[in-house]
A and B are shown apart, each in its own frame.
Chain A
Amino acid sequence: MKLIEFKNTNAQRIYTDYINRSKRVIRILSNEDQEDCLMEINSYIFEYIQNHQNEDETSTLLNILERLGSPEITLKEVVAAKKIDQAVKTFNLKHLIEALFLNLRNGLVYIVLFVLTLLLVCFPILIVMEILYPEETGLFVGEKTFFFGMTDPKSGIQEVLGSAFIPVVILLGVGFYFLIVFLLKLVKNKKS
């Protein structure tokens, strides 16, 4: 991206600072999306300055930066929207968690999806716990209760999965993952 050059050194510093702040906000996006966001912000600044050339350079820059608002606020929605697209396109768990976290405020469905993702993250931990503490980890069934995960073996309930616990957890993890991606795509398509 070509940066704007200012005659006034203070204006240049203010502009560089704004661009750097914007870069920090969008750094979780893909390189392509980061470039697109920065180019768009740069274009807004440049066009405004071009149309206010008779005015003081620093004042004009401050005016357009005020109109653009703080990058931390203006770019929040843009980053959240682009992150969802990236998560759906890449199937990457890291992007999925980031996208859901950024969209938590956008509705109950994202909260549900976030909880499902947290459960998904717990599955590998359960596998490790099953290896380390096989007596305390598993699917425990009692007379009127059942429990999946880790519990006190003295509580009078019986573990029923045994050595099948790890394959079941892996299958559940795969199932949860595809369910999350499917729900995410459903939400995205419903909005369009």
Chain B
Amino acid sequence: MKNEFLKNWDTQLKKGLLPFFVLQALNQKECYGYELIQTLKDSLGIEVTESTIYPLLIRLMKEDLLIHKWVEQQSGIPRKYYFITEVGKSNLAEMQKSIVEIIEKIQQQ
């Protein structure tokens, strides 16, 4: 059972790592917003709402890490698919390296 401090710390940690998880998920396959939320929940156990993911995706696009494409659907309501760019992939690799370094330092202690 986690106390309040650990719960907050856990939330902050996941929040900080969210751009990494989003890039990692999109590196596996392109997704639309709702699908990405479900992927984060099912594969990584991260609960994230639309109010968090939408501004984050816009921020990542602004940084040229993602691009998007609207895809028409039979329903008449198109889906906005997000794709990782080459810049996004190289940033993801750097982020992975940093995370591995942190984990190694923790394990050395």
Instruction: Give chain A's interface residues, CB within 8 Å of chain B.
Output: 2, 4, 39-44, 46-48, 50-51, 64, 67-69, 73-74, 77-78, 81-82, 85, 191-192
Contact = CB atoms under 8 A, between A and B. Distances in A.
Contacts of B20: none
A74 B51 contact: yes
A40 B55 contact: no
Interface residues of B, number: 21
B14 interface: no
A77 B75 CA distance: 29
B101 interface: no
B50 A4 contact: no
Given A81-B59, A191-B63, A46 B33 contact: no
Contact of B54 (A44, A48, A50): A44
A74 B49 CA distance: 11
Given A46-B75, A51-B34, A40 B62 contact: no
B54 A78 contact: yes
Nearest to B55: A77
B54 to A, nearest CB: 6
Contacts of B32: 43, 47
B80 interface: yes
A39 B75 CA distance: 13
Interface in B42-101: 49-51, 54-55, 58-59, 62-64, 70, 75-80
A73 B75 CA distance: 29
A142 to B, nearest CB: 48
A33 to B, nearest CB: 10
Nearest to A51: B34
Given A68-B51, A81-B59, A192-B64, A47 B76 contact: no
Contacts of A48: 34, 50
B51 A2 contact: no
A43 B79 contact: yes
A44 B77 contact: no
A107 B50 CA distance: 26
Contacts of B80: 39-40, 43
Given A44-B54, A69-B51, A74-B51, 5 more contacts: A68-B51, A69-B49, A77-B55, A81-B59, A191-B63
Contacts of B59: 77, 81
Contacts of B75: 46, 50
Contact of B33 (A4, A40, A77): A40
Contacts of B49: 67-69
26 contacts: A42-B77, A43-B80, A44-B34, A44-B50, A46-B75, A46-B77, A47-B32, A47-B34, A48-B34, A48-B50, A64-B50, A67-B50, A67-B51, A68-B51, A68-B54, A69-B50, A74-B50, A77-B55, A77-B58, A78-B58, A81-B58, A81-B62, A82-B58, A85-B62, A191-B62, A192-B62
